[in-house]
Amino acid sequence: MTLRITILNGPNLNLLGTREPHIYGLTTLGEIEAMCAERARALGITLTFRQSNHEGVLVDWIQEARESADALIINPAAYSFRSVALVDAMKALGKPVIELHVSNIHARDELHRHSITSSAATAVICGLGPYGYVAALEAAVHLAKRG
């Protein structure tokens, strides 16, 4: 059976490449998606890659992943710091969840330093820039196979 990995991206990540490049770099979300698709092909897995600025949409997609994915990678972005709804949805998933951040949130300002969604994640990757998505994809495959 082919592994299925879902990558979800939260608010403002559609602006990667232009938004605060000194923090997030110049790589666009489209370029990150292309990197992930290429790595997914090499790994022989099915990849779903989505972005929304709306909390409820992300909750719906996490719930959908209960049936459509073997593992979830999520960059909750700003929702990392405030969304109990995402925490609850991630806890209900019952599958490996990797929380991902392009920047090192632990080195950021107080507002961006403490992720509440991390409490529902199997693992957290942060500070690797766009490559963090590839690292998360590799880790998700490992965790999904481990079962």
By annotation, the residues acting in catalysis are 24, 101
Sign of CA dihedral 21, 57, 75, 71: negative
Question: Do residues 52 and 10 make contact, with C-beta atoms less than 8 angstroms apart?
Answer: yes
Q: Cα–Cα distances in Å, from 126 out to 9, 35, 94, 136?
A: 14, 17, 22, 10
Q: Cα–Cα distances in Å, from 36 out to 19, 88, 98, 108, 120?
A: 21, 27, 15, 26, 23
The C-alpha atoms of residue 93 and residue 68 are separated, in whole angstroms, by 11
